[in-house]
């Protein structure tokens, strides 16, 4: 059986689970590990040409709409029925199950959620205590705290990533939502140039003033490096980075970081969901085995093992487990974040939209375009993309 996984922390746990399962059921397991971008390309190519090279694939939830077009993934509803089972149980956190269904939250299951990834807000508790600041609940207080800390310490108050594309869009979404805006309106029209969105972008630029100047080209690793080296005090980040923060071989700030929910502003803060799912390509020749494997890997016992290996779970019971709570101090926060999280817009043209949106957001952040102009252009581009892809 061949499994394609993401090169990185999330893929790590699934890899080991696969090896365990292979030993248990005496099946030979082949693992293909690829970096994010290439994983997407190879999987999509394989799905569209139905080569059957992979029996199980890991996918990031925004890819899901594009992957389920044209009968490319095996329907899990059918497989559950054939096995006389009811479908995924209620222990899974709803927001993670919703993204496994096409249409979103109501349709057929095509995947199971493996990595419960949603954004968290990382901040230096020690510095907050030093300056008598309370935990940041709103974006306004974040800005104030960042200014205060930046003035008093030899470091930057905030750090974020604004490299064109996925990086800047991911860091902008929580702001967009907190200011009451969104990418699409209720009737699926692009509204990224709404007045609330403009305010959100303007606020991002204000945050940019207390962020290291190179942030317009930053990706996730640069952001985390700033935190780890104690040159920045706060940022939006993902659970994958919780471990390294407390690892003395990587971090200069062991034990000093606290994790909170994404801040609110006009609306309650919602973390962006970035769950990793496991699915079965319809071209696979081992679908029964693959189905067995993904059910096994996502059951409570295996999720617990995966959690011990550093994987954020998608089951409530695992988050509440006593032994795990002792080891992972951020679990309650992660669970709350996951439960309240919001996925990115479910459209098969998301890649193109994210790309266009990302270009203009990046331009706004490097000050080559005014916020209103950037968002207007972005909106025009997104409309064109939707029209082309009807």
Please report, as ranges, the residues that interact with other proteins according to CB under 8 A.
2, 6-9, 30, 32-36, 38, 40-42, 44-46, 48-49, 51, 53-54, 66, 162-165, 212-218, 220-222, 224-226, 228-229, 231, 238, 240-241, 248-252, 349, 351-352, 355, 359-360, 362-363, 365-366, 368-369, 388-389
3-state secondary structure 163-226: CCCHHHHHHHHHHHHHCCCCCECCCCCECCCCHHHHHHHHHHHHHHHCCCHHHHHCCHHHHHHH
DSSP state of 309: T
Nearest distance, CB of residue 333 and other proteins, angstroms:
19
Cis ω on the peptide bond leading into residue 196 (within 30° of 0)? no
Nearer to other proteins by Cβ, of 68 and 316: the residue is 68
Nearest distance, CB of residue 89 and other proteins, angstroms:
29
Nearer to other proteins by Cβ, of 11 and 88: the residue is 11
Measured torsion, CA atoms of residues 203, 209, 215, 220, in degrees rounded to the nearest 10: -60
Closest CA to 132 of 154, 160, 155, 152: 152
Nearer to other proteins by Cβ, of 182 and 381: the residue is 381
Three-point CA angle 108, 25, 7, nearest 5°: 65
Instruction: Tell how far CA 188 is from the center of its chain.
Output: 22
Nearest distance, CB of residue 124 and other proteins, angstroms:
17
**Would the CA dihedral through 269, 122, 60, 383 be positive or negative?**
positive
Nearer to other proteins by Cβ, of 64 and 92: the residue is 64
Nearest distance, CB of residue 191 and other proteins, angstroms:
22
Nearest distance, CB of residue 72 and other proteins, angstroms:
11
Nearer to other proteins by Cβ, of 196 and 381: the residue is 381
Distance of CA 249 to CAs 122, 254, 308, Å?
19, 10, 19
CB under 8 Å to 97, separation ≥6 — which residues? 88, 113
Nearest distance, CB of residue 64 and other proteins, angstroms:
15
Nearest distance, CB of residue 345 and other proteins, angstroms:
16
Nearer to other proteins by Cβ, of 122 and 139: the residue is 122
Nearer to other proteins by Cβ, of 251 and 298: the residue is 251
């Amino acid at each position: 059986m061949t499994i394609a996984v993401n090169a990185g922390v999330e893929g790590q746990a699934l890899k080991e689970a696969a090896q365990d399962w292979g030993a248990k059921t005496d099946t030979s397991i082949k693992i293909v590990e690829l970096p994010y971008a290439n994983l997407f390309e190879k999987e999509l190519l394989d799905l569209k040409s139905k080569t059957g090279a992979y029996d199980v694939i890991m996918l990031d939830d925004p890819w899901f709409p594009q992957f389920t077009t044209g009968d490319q993934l095996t329907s899990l509803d059918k497989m559950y029925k054939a096995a006389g089972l009811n479908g995924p149980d209620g222990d899974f956190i709803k927001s993670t199950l919703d993204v496994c269904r096409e249409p979103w939250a109501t349709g057929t299951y095509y995947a199971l959620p493996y990595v419960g990834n949603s954004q968290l807000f990382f901040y230096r508790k020690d510095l907050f205590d030093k300056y008598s600041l309370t935990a940041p609940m709103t974006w306004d207080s974040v800005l104030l705290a960042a200014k205060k800390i930046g003035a008093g310490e030899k470091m930057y108050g905030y750090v974020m990533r604004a490299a064109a594309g996925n990086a800047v869009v991911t860091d902008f979404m929580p702001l967009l939502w907190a200011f009451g805006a969104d990418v699409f309106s209720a009737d699926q029209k692009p509204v990224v140039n709404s007045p609330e969105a403009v305010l959100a972008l303007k606020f991002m630029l204000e945050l940019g003033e207390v962020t290291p100047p190179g942030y317009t080209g930053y990706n996730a690793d640069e952001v985390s490096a700033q935190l780890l080296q104690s040159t920045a005090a706060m940022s939006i980040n993902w659970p994958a980075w919780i471990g390294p923060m407390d690892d003395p071989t990587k971090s200069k700030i062991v034990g000093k970081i606290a994790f909170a929910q994404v801040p609110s502003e006009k609306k309650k803060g919602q973390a962006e969901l970035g769950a990793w799912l496991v699915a079965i390509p319809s071209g696979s020749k081992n679908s029964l085995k693959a189905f067995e494997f993904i059910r096994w890997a996502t059951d409570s016992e295996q999720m617990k093992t995966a959690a011990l290996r550093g994987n954020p779970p998608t089951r409530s019971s695992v988050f509440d487990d006593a032994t795990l709570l002792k080891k992972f101090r951020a679990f309650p926060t992660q669970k709350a974040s996951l439960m309240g999280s919001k996925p990115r817009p479910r459209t098969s043209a998301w890649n193109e939209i994210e790309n266009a949106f990302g270009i203009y957001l990046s331009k706004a952040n490097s000050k080559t375009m005014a916020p209103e102009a950037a968002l207007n252009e972005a909106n025009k581009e997104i409309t064109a993309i939707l029209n082309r892809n009807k």
